[in-house]
Structure 1
Amino acid sequence: MTNGQEPTLQSKFQGVSLGALFGDCFGARFEHMKGTPIEEVIVHFDEVVEKVNTSKAQTENSVEKGFMGYTDDTCMTFDLGEALVDKKGYNAKYVLKKFTQTFLAAPLERNYGDSVRKIFYKLKTVGFRGDPYELASKQFDGSGSYGNGSAMRVSPVPLFHHNCIPEMVTLASNQSKLTHSNPKGINGAIFQTLAIEKAMTTEKITDTGKYCRELFEQLKETTPAQEDLGVYEEKIENIVSLLNADHEVTLEEINDKIGTGVAAYQSVPAALFCFLQTLDESKISKLSKFNGMVRTAIYATAMCHDSDTVASMSCAIAGAYYGVESVPSEWVWACEGSDRALKIANALFEINKSGGNMNKDKECKLM
């Protein structure tokens, strides 16, 4: 909702892609700090804006475009999005190969997680001829990872299968199983997918509690991973409780009720909470001068331990709701990969519009 106008669907696609990138680049500065004062995060935001504007005002730019680097979150998001565009569908081995090749060529500051690093190093040795899901399924004594790695990269999925819940849930689940096969990890990826889709198809959120509970019911009705859903239901009820609090919610409360670490069942609900907590511009006075996207990014970064990932997921949801116009132009210029993010969003939009993503055997509905 920019200037009171409903963003176009293409704007929302672009908002998801650029929002995810913006959140990653913005939040990376504060990763693992276990919470940062909002004032300090605002200073960071303003410094980058000033740096870009000063550079643009000079005859020769004093800073290079894309100077704010992204992390593994965006590496894998780009890989998944481009794989869907390349194949006009999901090819597990192709996606896994792209993940692996990008990882092996990446600088250390991309900061890939330990469990996926082990998978990709193993694939470097054994190749891609076998079952693409086998290595992930054997991790952690066969229980699989429940980290947030498959949720942080999932934003291309609701764009590829927009308006087709069964297909997007299947795809979110399958791409998760490449690296995160635990039900809590799979459900994190599905939950984030549904959160983006719901934000994209909701004109105005008026009842955040109802909104949260509807989202959980959608997860419960559609996920193929029915185990351990109770942990997500508990998080949703805690989110509703915090959203309805009659005081300014503290970092301690968020960590106690939701959690903001690398586990999917913490960081995915935390991303939803940060988006919804900042819907009302007057709710957090320190953020009242900013638009919804920026409020989301600052709040998610300030309040979360895994700040780049939570901010990325939260801003993807915000982008689905507010549209691309909400992403600050200075940060579009500052973020590494902005043009690539827009290219992926536009390609997915065209595929979705043309119906090239459809499985004619499945009924598609919003639910």
Structure 2
Amino acid sequence: MNPTQEERFAGSIVGQALGDALGFVVEGQSAALCRAYVEDRVRPGRVAAIRRGRYPFGQYSDDTQLARELMQSYREAGGFDPEGYARRVAAIFSEGRIVGYGGATKQAADRLAAGVPWDEAGTPPPAAGNGSAMRAGPVGLLHADDPAMLARVAETQGRITHRDPRSSAGAVAIAGAVNIAARGEPVDHLDFLAELADLTSGVERAFREHLERLSGWVSLEPREAAGHISRVGIEKDAAEGWDEITPFVIPSVLWSLYSFLRTPDSFLQTVSTAIAVGGDVDTTAAMAGAISGARVGLAGLPEKLARRVNDNGSWHAEDLAQLARECSALG
């Protein structure tokens, strides 16, 4: 059955939450450990008893929390409201509700809480983390029929915390990928990446070139592809000691896209690929999960795993899905 746009929206945010939760367990770990986790736990669905610190499996992190806050700000304002969203970003940090976070996002949230205007609070370059991109998925569905508005909003919501144009381009790429995936059309990776390249070219031209390079890596097996993607855009010295995907926006966004394009019709395989490489895997799996969920819809997610997602005992899958349905009416 072909999912409705409403169910694709629900699939995207719940898919993001599930990818996030699966990756959160092994965030920052080596490729070897993450591959073993995928083979021994994720693929067979044996995750019920695992936990990270005080968090049992199902807890998702700031990736999904901030995407959810963006959707709530839309619902409240009836559209994109950067001031309202900025207030929510400040509040979730100042009230201690955030679960895991990047330094640049925390710095921006602190400035917002201190009264700095939303369009001045973002951490300036060269901070180019993936905090803008990880939460941009809903924008691709809220502005599904207006590519120019999609790009503008994805960039603007990202600048609240990250003012580096590379971060903005990453946000546009993820929003655009969710938009394309939700159309339900056959996925040709060359066409898919060409459309994203056009969408991002007005934000940061070099990002277009990275997307074009990715088109030649999709056919490579994951270990070989990771060797290329993990170092894209990173200065040589910064890559020393890293065999995994870092929180830097370019490789993490490219790896999420690669994971989806390898297996566009399998949510679990997509998320498994995103995690198995190691590194910032809660974010790569969250972004890949948002794209995949938009394609397969809510019914295409592994139900038993999806039922486990939550945020400290609240905001379960059904709550996220209901929020998505309400936002779908605005899109």
Distance in 2 separating the partners of 1:278 and 1:256 = 23
Distance in 1 separating the partners of 2:318 and 2:268 = 20
Amino acid at match of 1:72: D
Which stretch of the first structure deviates more once superposed, 247-256 or 306-315?
247-256
| Alignment check: 8 A CA contact 2:64 2:135 kept | yes
Identity %: 23
Match of 2:35 in 1: 38
| Alignment check: 8 A CA contact 1:270 1:310 kept | yes
| Alignment check: 8 A CA contact 2:128 2:249 kept | yes
Which stretch of the first structure deviates more once superposed, 191-200 or 153-162?
153-162
C-alpha displacement of 1:253: 4.0
1:284-304 CA-to-partner distances (Å, cap 9, x unmatched) read xxxxxxx70000111101114
Q: Is 1:229 paired with 2:229?
A: no
C-alpha displacement of 1:39: 4.1
Aligned with 1:240 (options 197, 215, 236): 215
Aligned with 1:338 (options 297, 317, 331): 317
What secondary structure sits across from 1:242 in the alignment?
coil
Match of 1:217 in 2: 198
Match of 2:240 in 1: none
Match of 1:293 in 2: 267
Amino acid at match of 1:185: S
Aligned with 1:92 (options 82, 87, 107): 82
Q: Is 1:113 paired with 2:87?
A: no
Match of 1:278 in 2: 263
Distance in 2 separating the partners of 1:257 and 1:77 = 26
Match of 1:168 in 2: 150
Distance in 2 separating the partners of 1:31 and 1:131 = 32
| Alignment check: 8 A CA contact 2:35 2:276 kept | yes
What secondary structure sits across from 2:6 in the alignment?
helix
Q: Is 1:132 paired with 2:122?
A: no
Match of 1:57 in 2: none
Report how many aligned residue pairs link the two structures: 310
* Alpha carbons of structure 1 residues 112 and 332: separation in structure 2 relative to 1, 3 Å: same
Larger Rg: 1
1:41-73 CA-to-partner distances (Å, cap 9, x unmatched) read 132225755749xxxxxxxxxxxxx85211111
Amino acid at match of 2:163: S
Q: Is 1:83 paired with 2:73?
A: yes
Equivalences for residues 1-367 of structure 1 within 5 A: 5-36=1-32, 37-45=34-42, 49=46, 51=48, 67-106=57-96, 110-124=99-113, 126-127=114-115, 131-136=117-122, 139-140=123-124, 143=125, 145-205=127-187, 207-220=188-201, 223=202, 225=203, 228-230=204-206, 232-245=207-220, 249=224, 251-256=226-231, 260-279=245-264, 292-336=266-310, 337-352=316-331
| Alignment check: 8 A CA contact 2:18 2:58 kept | no
Q: Give the gaps of 5 or more residues in structure 1.
A: 53-65, 280-290, 353-367
* Alpha carbons of structure 1 residues 94 and 144: separation in structure 2 relative to 1, 3 Å: farther
Q: Which has the higher helix share?
A: 1
What secondary structure sits across from 2:161 in the alignment?
coil
Distance in 1 separating the partners of 2:70 and 2:328 = 15
Q: Give the gaps of 5 or more residues in structure 2.
A: 50-55, 234-243, 311-315
Q: CA RMSD in A?
A: 2.5
| Alignment check: 8 A CA contact 2:132 2:158 kept | yes
C-alpha displacement of 1:339: 2.4
Distance in 1 separating the partners of 2:84 and 2:222 = 49
| Alignment check: 8 A CA contact 2:197 2:212 kept | no
| Alignment check: 8 A CA contact 2:86 2:112 kept | no
| Alignment check: 8 A CA contact 2:18 2:309 kept | yes
